[in-house]
Amino acid sequence: MIFINPEEFAQKIKGWIEDKNGIDIEVINVTEMTSIANYFVIASGSSERQVKAIADNIEYEAKELEIFPKNIEGQREGRWILLDYYDVIIHIFHAEEREFYSLEKLWKNSPVSR
């Protein structure tokens, strides 16, 4: 496993999401607000298939860097997939789910980059 700082890893993830045409990508620095992670990366896909493709691409590209997730949730349904890479947690939503949960609003006081 190689070492990569959380900010750099979050930006790489953003690029991997862009590679699969992810929508509305946000990188949120949550370092000052929680101890569970340093960054959240939140993005949407327009279909369950696209949500799964985005998550699969992140997992593939991270594995190429010998970085493996602690946990993955929601892959079967493809409506909200969470990939936990310790310091970086990725939420890939179907557009409808993202609007319903509005996860960004919970972290609105954190620095966001788009």
Number of CB atoms found within 10 A of residue 80's CB: 18
User: What integer pLDDT is reported at residue 114 of this predicted model?
Assistant: 52
Tokens of 76: 């079967």
Digit-coded pLDDT (tens) for 33-79: 888 999 999 999 999 999 999 999 999 999 999 999 999 999 988 99
Domain chopping of the chain, boundaries? 6-113
Digit-coded pLDDT (tens) for 83-108: 999 999 999 999 888 888 777 777 66
Residue 30 CB-half CA count within 13 A = 24
Does the structural domain 6-113 have CATH classification 3.30.460.10? yes
User: What integer pLDDT is reported at residue 74 of this predicted model?
Assistant: 94
